[in-house]
Structure 1
Amino acid sequence: MKRIIRIFGFSLLILLYGFWQCFRSFSGVMSGGKMVRFILSELGMAASGMAIVIGISALLLCYLCAKLARRSQNTLIFLFTLCRRLLSFMMVAMIIFGGLAFIAIVLSELIWLATTVNLHRSSGKAIIFALCIIGSTLWLLFKSVGALRKCFALFKASASEIDGHNITEQQAPLLWQWIRQLAKQGQVVTPDNIVIGFFDCFYVTANDVRLRNSGEQLKGNTLYFPLTFAAMMSREEIAAVIGHELGHFTGDDTQYSLRFAPLYAGIQNSLDQISRTARGVSWIDRVVLYPALETGLWFLRSFHETVRYWSRIREFAADTAGARTASPEALVSALLRISALDDVINDCLEDVLTGKAKDNDILAGLVASASNLPALDVRPFMEEALTHPTDSHPPTSQRIAALNVTVSERLLNSAARKPDARDHQALMALIASDEGNIVASMAQNLIQRVKQHREALRARLETEAAQPSETKMFWIRTKDTWFFLAIAIILFAAGGFITLTARGGFEYIGWGMVAFSVMFSLLARKHYVDSRKPLYLFSEQGIQCQSVDGIFKWTWMEDAFEFEEMLGSLCIVFRCHSHVPLPEVHRRKSGIRPGKNNTYIITIPDPMFTGESDKRLKIKEQEFIDHFRQYYDSACAREALQEF
């Protein structure tokens, strides 16, 4: 219901207000000004009515297309593409008609102001203010339409980036020969490219691919072959997984992967970009732009269940191809084993990326370290789903049930077995090349890139760690104390005079003014006390302030800062790591204060001053944020260098 209100609420209000304006225009004598108001109100009603009609049409279009898209994957692709193209024009029209309706109503009120009220100074200011609102609305319309056109009409899927090596048939004839045999046995399509690497798991893609380390561009169907997983799996398990992945290139699945998947994955990014680039005055932004954005989100939600429906069917069909390529038991064993090996492989790769790996032969070191670990526990992964770079999978238990495989102890023990060096040796024989040891060359290249990256990272961290070394103090303005005190004195004097001289109940007004004078005097006292001490004191260790006992350390904060405006002041909102012991924070004292949902808030008063107590310099809000970020980055850099 809230989404419906967000889409149609503004237009309905304009429509009802336009009806009321027309009724007001007919009352009394119809003058020239009233006739213009009547015409503008009619235009506002017509524009808001068009926005409502377009919104209803967009919702019905999304709903009907999402229902019809269950007929086939080709139907899904056609209807999704159709919806996406039509919806871009509908969203533009909703923004334009909503903005025009708003402008027409504001202009009608300006006509009333100009014809009914004498144009003295105050009414002139009101007209200028209304014209500013109209200008802001027009500017928002211009930006919004440009953002929609750019994000929807010009959206194209970019090439996927992979860290790996394109292994040709000349380099690994045995691997290609085996893949062709598997494709024939599973009745699936042979890939155009095979990329081997150390990261990610088995997957295929029909999109263009760019290799990160060489810059080589690949077109056609690409199979990613992860050496890390393959080195600890049997040949039959690898065959079942490859048969499953190549099954995605069969029938309608190819077009689904090539045309639909990148569009569906990128549409949310397009909507986010529209929201960021077409943001104007906050309240105008809500009433004019949000109905169109909500319509776009409705479009995504309408197709979400249909996409999940076809994703499940695709995965089950690909599982059938994998079982046909090897056996259903081999595929089930591979699914469970891949899930259990994921953490083991990630730990090994983390050692490589952090320079802690002792063996330059990444695969040999991985197999050796995994062999020393306890047996794998695959049972917890029965209800989990495998991760995939561009798609989603059903839970493993559902896939096992669809294959009609009974999970026996023998199958579980097979999936949970310790890595065997013979599997690693079989893999190396399969990708043996006359051009030398390709895997060793890849490992050496990766280690060299990691070394260069870490050297550059260390230099950057050392530079950041050395930047702010002195303690920096931040103060609030002291003259506000005298302002509050002056108000307290005036209220006390005026209230006292009224209390002593007034009769007939007016003396209570005087007592109220005296009470307010006490409140302002207490506020002046608090402000005086706060201004005598730094509001914030930044040091290498953290932040000191009146509300925190001790030091609020920089390293306690998560690197995800948000900036919000609260009660007229800009605030930094952040969270802390869950494992750190946080000090007590006093709500009624100045400084860092706790917020909602385990957040903390740093308020930036305007104006703010920095320096010693006897020599303070005024700074802007952005300068304070820059200091805050610099001290935070420096502390994080010092902590990272300790673990380097």
Structure 2
Amino acid sequence: MAATVLLPFLVMLLGLWEGRRADDDWAAFAAEHRHLSAIVADLEARTPRDGRVDYTLQFRKGGQTYGGPLALDKARDARGEVATMTTLMDWRRSLPPVVVVGGGLAAALSILVLLAGAVLGLVGRTSRDALVGGFSLVRKLLPAALALQIVAATAGFVAAVIFEAGMLAQSGFDGGALKLLGVAAVAVGATVIAAASTLWGLRRALAAFEPDPLPILGRPVSAAEAPGLWRLTEGLADRLGALKPEAVVVGLTGGFFVSAGPALLQPGGERLAGRILYLPLPYLALMRGDEVAAIIGHELAHYAGGDTAYSQRFLPIYAGVGRSLDAVAAGHQGSLGLLGPSLRLGVFVMERFHLAVRHWSRAREFAADAAGAGLTTAEASARALLRTGAVQPRIAETLDAAAEAPASAPSDLVAAVLDRAVAQGLDDPAAHLEAEQAHPTDTHPPTRERVAALGVPLGPDLLALAATAPPAHALGQLGAYFADPAGLCRAATADFLGVVREHEAAVRADLETAAAGVAAEDQVLRDNSRPGAFVLVGAAVLFGLAALGLAIFGFPSLSAREAGYFAVVVLVLGAILGALGGYRLWRGERVTLILRPDGLEVPGLDRSIAWEAIADLDISVNQTGIATRLLLPPEAPFPVRVPGGRGVKLDAKRRIVTFALGLPRRTTPQDFADLLGRYQVAAQARHLLAQAEAARSETRTL
């Protein structure tokens, strides 16, 4: 409320105050103009017509008294100045209404959006149709409301700044006033640019939304490949009265879920559409049959309740409001805080929608749990919830180990998960009661709440049963689902390892590109002193010519002797400038920094600083060039200052090395920062590549 309503309301109050001041200022100048007009008329009437000078005519201004004809001239000048200021003040009176309307409109829009978001959030909890319909309208109207608010706030701010800048004209445009005008111009320009770019970005929020395909690491299984699984799934769907999945996908990662939108299977790149049921093979192997049936029934219940279709309808709303937020956030930093209310409004709307969606997601999860329990038993459904938490760590440990060393990974990771679960046992389900099960599109209540909603006591017997380690022959139960479970597990393992290797190859290619982004030879940076040296030499030549001209032609108002002395002084100054310029040209451009692939060398320090030893790097621009500060960690050797360096400062206590240098030729501060960044990234890339190579060598040795 403070940011979105009170702040624009204060702008409106500022406009009202400025309006009273504007009227007072105009009235004061209008009265002064009438007063000066009367004085000018009086002086004109008293001026002698025969051209005589009458010093009884007087006009006083600025502490000085003018007499005779000058009095009339000064009076007319003063009247003209006041007439100009009166016109300016009259025009200035048009600005406060803009401030009032801008602030008031921004505050009113904030109130409307806040009320709409709050009301729709409450109404959306009565039905999902109301939720989707209300926030679909908000998605379309919010960008326009934010755009109108930005225009109003910007207009009000610009009008207020111009109004206050008009006060400077009353006291005259001296040096301080010109500086303030410059600050005002920069503020107005930055705000207008930020607002314009934000309005341009808000156009994207109205564009049509096309959801990206859901990436799934898995492979589809047909009824011939998984006859038992398809019979179980279709039988559960018939009992529920739910739509049947059009595709069943199995893999090693993630949990059970259903989707109804486009999907992209990895690693093959096959595209699927329609109703998809995803089943993770490790869970199928480690969970009991009634537990699997309860979970599949839970997922199919989402089809019966239309949950996946609603999830698809939620996505454009999230996308539209998200685009609006992105556009406002992009311009917020450069707007001097002017876009803060609009940004907070967008965040508020997103939060209201998210809370309403979460409400229905939780409600539908409880309903789906009840549906799964109705197909089996409440105890089996509760046990399935608990067992997924107990099994998940063994699955994650096995897959993580395979991802770290894919070359030595077993050919059947499902069997490897079972072996680990048999050897180590399962986790205590009580440790995962507050966990919210992962899902690619929806949220889930904590496991404790879901078990309680099933009406099953969460006692030690249930927890112990859920934590029972699977038998060594548990892998055989996959035969009830698949025609060739061993071959399918090996194929799923190959898919997983293939994606891991593709990711490794992509990362390695990026690292190699980064490592090759700097030259192997030293890059020497030098100060750009040649232009300054040429300027000195040019000035010396001009001084010499001036001295020569003084010696030959002399100088008005100076005797020949004085002109000769003056010529000698000018010649000496020219010689000094020429000597300085010549010395700088002879010396050449000095080395200010040497960049190597392994570190940087600063003249004036006794050792190079390795890129890996730089914990943080800061670059700032000053009047003489660039100041660079390096923060070294405690374990890194700290350099010592030696002769030959300029602008080097060492703070051993805070472990900071600071060095200043002029910008090299044809280099901007951003170019310099990018150059150091490339060397740092290249060093990090080489370090990671070396670590990966060492790990591969160790794996080959083992």
Alignment partner of 1:383: what SS? coil
Over the matched positions of the two proteins, sequence identity in percent amounts to 27
Show CA shifts across 1:428-469 (max 9, x none): 4412269x9444334334434544554564565466567677
Deviation at 1:472, TM superposition (A): 8.7
Counting only pairs closer than 5 Å after superposition, residues 423-438 of structure 1 correspond to structure 2 as 423-432=474-483, 437-438=487-488
Deviation at 1:158, TM superposition (A): 2.4
The 1:538/1:134 distance shift into structure 2, 3 A limit, reads: same
* 1:168–1:194 CA contact under 8 A, matched in 2: yes
- In structure 2, the partner of 1:530 is none
- In structure 2, the partner of 1:517 is none
Deviation at 1:640, TM superposition (A): 3.6
Deviation at 1:259, TM superposition (A): 1.1
- In structure 1, the partner of 2:238 is 184
Show CA shifts across 1:544-601 (max 9, x none): 9999x998983896xxx9989899999999999xxx9967999xx847998xxxxx99
Please say if 1:213 is aligned against 2:267: yes
* 1:591–1:602 CA contact under 8 A, matched in 2: yes
Measure, in 2, the Cα distance between the counterparts of 1:584 and 1:575: 12
- In structure 2, the partner of 1:285 is 335
- In structure 2, the partner of 1:387 is 438
| TM-score, length basis structure 2 | 0.69
Measure, in 2, the Cα distance between the counterparts of 1:551 and 1:43: 58
Measure, in 2, the Cα distance between the counterparts of 1:184 and 1:329: 22
Query: What are structure 2's unaligned runs of at least 5 residues?
Result: 31-85, 530-590, 640-648, 697-702
Deviation at 1:224, TM superposition (A): 1.0
Farther off after superposition, 363-372 or 33-42: 363-372
The 1:344/1:575 distance shift into structure 2, 3 A limit, reads: farther
* 1:539–1:631 CA contact under 8 A, matched in 2: yes
Please say if 1:16 is aligned against 2:66: no
Please say if 1:270 is aligned against 2:328: no
Alignment partner of 1:630: what SS? helix
Farther off after superposition, 266-275 or 327-336: 266-275
Deviation at 1:61, TM superposition (A): 1.0
Measure, in 2, the Cα distance between the counterparts of 1:247 and 1:294: 37
The 1:583/1:455 distance shift into structure 2, 3 A limit, reads: closer
Deviation at 1:213, TM superposition (A): 2.2
Alignment partner of 2:243: what SS? coil
Farther off after superposition, 564-573 or 385-394: 564-573
The 1:382/1:574 distance shift into structure 2, 3 A limit, reads: farther
- In structure 2, the partner of 1:66 is 121
Farther off after superposition, 209-218 or 125-134: 125-134
Counting only pairs closer than 5 Å after superposition, residues 368-407 of structure 1 correspond to structure 2 as 368-407=419-458
Measure, in 2, the Cα distance between the counterparts of 1:239 and 1:189: 16
* 2:361–2:443 CA contact under 8 A, matched in 1: yes
* 1:555–1:635 CA contact under 8 A, matched in 2: no
Deviation at 1:605, TM superposition (A): 6.4
* 1:535–1:591 CA contact under 8 A, matched in 2: no
Alignment partner of 2:249: what SS? strand
The 1:321/1:565 distance shift into structure 2, 3 A limit, reads: farther
- In structure 2, the partner of 1:55 is 110
Say which of 454, 467, 491 aligns to 1:441.
491
Measure, in 2, the Cα distance between the counterparts of 1:465 and 1:638: 11
Deviation at 1:239, TM superposition (A): 0.8
Deviation at 1:413, TM superposition (A): 3.1
Deviation at 1:202, TM superposition (A): 0.4
Counting only pairs closer than 5 Å after superposition, residues 237-636 of structure 1 correspond to structure 2 as 237-260=291-314, 262-263=315-316, 266=319, 269-270=322-323, 273-275=326-328, 277-279=330-332, 282=333, 284-354=334-404, 355-432=406-483, 437-451=487-501, 453-455=503-505, 457-458=507-508, 461=511, 540=598, 554=612, 590=650, 620-636=672-688
Deviation at 1:375, TM superposition (A): 4.4
Measure, in 2, the Cα distance between the counterparts of 1:403 and 1:210: 35
- In structure 2, the partner of 1:43 is 98
Deviation at 1:427, TM superposition (A): 1.7
The 1:571/1:447 distance shift into structure 2, 3 A limit, reads: farther
Measure, in 1, the Cα distance between the counterparts of 2:286 and 2:524: 57
Counting only pairs closer than 5 Å after superposition, residues 107-118 of structure 1 correspond to structure 2 as 107-113=162-168, 116=170, 118=172
Deviation at 1:159, TM superposition (A): 2.2
Query: What are structure 1's unaligned runs of at least 5 residues?
Result: 479-532, 595-599, 611-616
* 2:240–2:304 CA contact under 8 A, matched in 1: no
In terms of Rg, which structure is larger? 2
Deviation at 1:320, TM superposition (A): 0.2
Measure, in 2, the Cα distance between the counterparts of 1:202 and 1:601: 52
Read off the aligned partner of 2:385 and give its amino acid letter: L
* 1:585–1:592 CA contact under 8 A, matched in 2: yes
* 1:18–1:105 CA contact under 8 A, matched in 2: yes
Say which of 126, 130, 133 aligns to 1:78.
133
- In structure 2, the partner of 1:503 is none
The 1:293/1:631 distance shift into structure 2, 3 A limit, reads: same
Alignment partner of 1:211: what SS? strand
Alignment partner of 2:286: what SS? coil
- In structure 2, the partner of 1:516 is none
The 1:408/1:47 distance shift into structure 2, 3 A limit, reads: closer
The 1:571/1:137 distance shift into structure 2, 3 A limit, reads: same
| TM-score, length basis structure 1 | 0.74
Measure, in 2, the Cα distance between the counterparts of 1:304 and 1:536: 53
The 1:63/1:358 distance shift into structure 2, 3 A limit, reads: closer
Please say if 1:236 is aligned against 2:290: yes
Measure, in 2, the Cα distance between the counterparts of 1:12 and 1:86: 23
The 1:384/1:619 distance shift into structure 2, 3 A limit, reads: closer
Show CA shifts across 1:74-95 (max 9, x none): 2222222222322222111111
Farther off after superposition, 267-276 or 208-217: 267-276
